[in-house]
Amino acid sequence: MSHVMPQPCGNVPAAPPQAVAPPPAPVARYSAPVTPGRPPELLRPAGGITLTRRSPVHAPALNAAVRANLDHLRPWLEWATEAPTPALTAELTEAGSAAWDAGTDFIYLVGLDAEPGRVIGSFGLHGRIGPGALELGYWVSAEHGRRGIATAAARTVTEAALALPGIERVEIHCDQANDASAAVPRRLGFRLDRVVAAPVRAPGETGRKLIWVTER
């Protein structure tokens, strides 16, 4: 997201937003598969939203969505410091597609059934926290905050993750000040496992990271 483009926790502005911090570099860097399985490429949570595997064909719509939401994302996501070029977004979507095929990261784009072709957010499962686990990261556009989209999508993606062979745990990480992001795992019944010190990489961060966990 992971700038693996919008990927996609947990980090969102304290108000309407809902975003979760993705890694700053292309997911293709992760070389070891975390699971021999692959999640469904299309997920349909309740509420008229669709989660589709991110692919290079989505790059223009994704670039437009990120550029429109920079102010919304900048407080919590280090890759949102400046507008990505179309070429960068295309490069990152290519990397993300390769990571999906390799079984290291699985990134979805959020769309509305009523507005085909438009991207309003991103959710990613990232194999960067060790064996048997995936980290769930996400962001939703400012315009679509406070509608339950992040919660519905996170529930569906979590279920898909825990159905994968070898995956026993899903985690959401978000800054302590990011109330909107933290509300998602809380609503879904994740437990707050620990609070750890973390480097401050975005303007809104405090350096205190919440680690939320749910298990199979």
- Please give, one letter per residue, the 3-state secondary structure of the chain: CCCCCCCCCECCCCCCCEEECCCCCCHHHCCCCCCCCCCCCEECCCCCEEEEECCHHHHHHHHHHHHHCHHHHCCCCHHHHCCCCHHHHHHHHHHHHHHHHHCCEEEEEEEECCECCCCCEEEEEECCCCCCEEEEEEEECHHHCCCCHHHHHHHHHHHHHHCCCCCCEEEEEEECCCHHHHHHHHHHCCEEEEEEECCCCCCCCCCEEEEEEEEC
Residue 4 has pLDDT above 90, yes or no: no
- pTM summary value: 0.85
Query: Looking up tokens 């990134």, which residue turns up?
Result: 107
What pLDDT does residue 121 have?
96
Q: What does the pLDDT average to over 170-188?
A: 97
Residue 21 has pLDDT above 90, yes or no: no
Q: How confident is the model at residue 125 (pLDDT cuts 50, 70, 90)?
A: very high
Mean pLDDT of the chain: 88
Q: What does the pLDDT average to over 103-116?
A: 96
What pLDDT does residue 10 have?
54
Q: How confident is the model at residue 24 (pLDDT cuts 50, 70, 90)?
A: very low
